[in-house]
Amino acid sequence: MTLSISLVRLPLLSPFTTSFGTETIKNALILRLQEGGVTAYGESVTSIGPFYGYEDNTTALHMIRDYLAGMVKDIPSPEQFLTRSAQLRGNNMAKAAVEMMLWDYHAKKKGVSLEKALGASKGYADVGISLGMDQRAVTLRKVREAIDRGYRRVKLKIEKGKEYDIVRTAREEFPDVQLSADANACYTLKDLPLLKRLDRFGLVYLEQPLAHDDLLDHATLAKELSTPICLDESIATLDAARQAFEIGAAKVVNIKPGRVGGLVNSLKIARLAEDNEGHVWIGGMLETGFGRAFNVALAANRLVDYPGDTSPNDKYFARDVVKNPFSMEKGRIRPNKGPGIGVEPDERFLESVTVKSWKLW
C-alpha cells in the first residue's frame, strides 16, 4: 500500500489572465493511492502562489505530508476523513485533494462510477466556458468560437476599468448568449457606479465582484443591482454558503470542490442552494484530467442546475496527462463510466511532465 504526491508542470495552450494575474503553466499536485488492485487519484487546486486563495502548492504539500497523509492510513470514508481533519483549521484545498482521492478509492472498491457514488445524476454536465482577459477582438473571436462549439454559457473575466467595453460589445454582437462576468474580487463598494453600468446587459450573474473574504458588502451590493450575484472565492466553507444565502449576499454559488474541502461539502452546498431557491454550478481551476473528472462527475449531479466551467481537456492543454480526455457534444459532457473517476493516466507522458514526487507512506 503506497501514497505518493507529485508536482506536474503542464503548459497551458494559451495564457489565462484574470484580475489577479496571468497563468501560463499549470503546476498541479497529483495524489496517487495504491492499495490491492486499486489506484485512486486526487488533485489539489492550489497553484504556485496564494493569488486566488491563501493556499498554494507549498502549503498544500506541507498540509498533506505533515498532517493529512497520516490520517488516511486506514483509508477512511470521505465523511470520516472530514471529521478527523476538522481539528486542523482551514486549508480546504489540501483537505479536498485527499477527500476526493478517498471518493475515487471507495467508488473503485465498490466498482461504481464517481457519478453514481455522488447520487442522482442527470447523466451529463452542461458546459460553459471561462475566457481570460485579452484584447477585445481576441475575446470576441473566442466568444464566437465558443458559441459555435455549443457552449451553453460564456463567462468573461473583467477587472476595474476593463468591464464595460467588453461586456457591452459581447452583448451587442451576441444578444442571445447566456453571458456572465467574473471579477475575481477586484472591486469594492466604492465602485458601485462601475458595476451599475453592467446591469443593463442581462448577465446571468456577476461573479465575485468584491473581496475574497467578504459576505456583508456583497449583500449590500446585491440590493443595488438587478444582476444576481454569484460567489466564488467568498464561499470557502459550508457555513459561508449558509450565511451568504441567509443575508442575501448571493443567489448563485460557483462550487469548486477543491475550494470547499471536497465533494461532501460540495453536495451540501448544492442542497443548501436548493433549499434557498438559489442556483449552483461547478467551477474550474484549470485542472488536469484528474481533477477535471471529479468536477464533471459532480457537475452531472441533479442538484447542479447551471452550466459549469468544465470545458473539455483540449481547451487547456495540447496534451493532457490522461489517455481518455472528455469531449463535448452540444455543450454537454458525459462523466466517465468509472469505476471511480474512470481516468486512464498516460503514464509515460505523466512521468515526462513530473517535476518531483514524494512518497508519503
Give the residue with the Cβ less far from Mg ion, 9 or 160.
160
Give the residue with the Cβ less far from ligand OSB, 283 or 339.
283
95 catalytic residue (yes or no): no
Using a CB cutoff of 8 Å and minimum separation of 24, what contacts does 268-272 make?
Answer: 268/238, 269/235, 269/238, 269/241, 270/301, 270/303, 270/304, 271/303, 272/238, 272/241, 272/242, 272/245
Using the contact rule CB under 6 A, the part of the chain among 102-110, 198-206, 241-249, 281-289 near ligand OSB is 281-289
Q: Scan residues 59-88 and list those touching ligand OSB (CB under 6 A).
A: none
Q: For ligand OSB, which residue of 261, 262, 278, 283 counts as binding (CB under 6 A)?
A: 283
Q: Scan residues 202-221 and list those touching Mg ion (CB under 5 A).
A: 207
Q: For ligand OSB, which residue of 182, 214, 320, 346 counts as binding (CB under 6 A)?
A: 182
Q: For Mg ion, which residue of 55, 126, 182, 287 counts as binding (CB under 5 A)?
A: 182
Phi, psi of 357 (to 5 degrees): -130, 150
The gap from C-alpha 201 to its chain's centroid, in whole angstroms, comes to 25
Q: Are 259 and 236 in contact (CB under 8 A)?
A: yes
Q: Is residue 309 a contact residue for ligand OSB (CB under 6 A)?
A: yes
Total residues interacting with Mg ion, rule: CB under 5 A: 3
Q: Which three cell numbers stand for residue 346?
A: 498516460
Of 256, 330, 337, 356, the catalytic one is 256
Residues 6+ apart with CB under 8 A from 132: 14, 15, 16, 17, 18, 22, 157
Q: Which three cell numbers stand for residue 306?
A: 447551471
Q: Is residue 53 a contact residue for ligand OSB (CB under 6 A)?
A: no
Using the contact rule CB under 5 A, the part of the chain among 94-102, 136-144, 182-190, 335-343 near Mg ion is 182-190
Q: Is residue 232 a contact residue for Mg ion (CB under 5 A)?
A: yes
Count of positions (residues) in the chain: 361
Using the contact rule CB under 6 A, the part of the chain among 160-168, 169-177, 283-291, 320-328 near ligand OSB is 283-291
Residues within the interface to ligand OSB (CB under 6 A): 52, 130, 182, 184, 232, 283-286, 309, 311
Catalytic residue numbers, as ranges: 157, 256
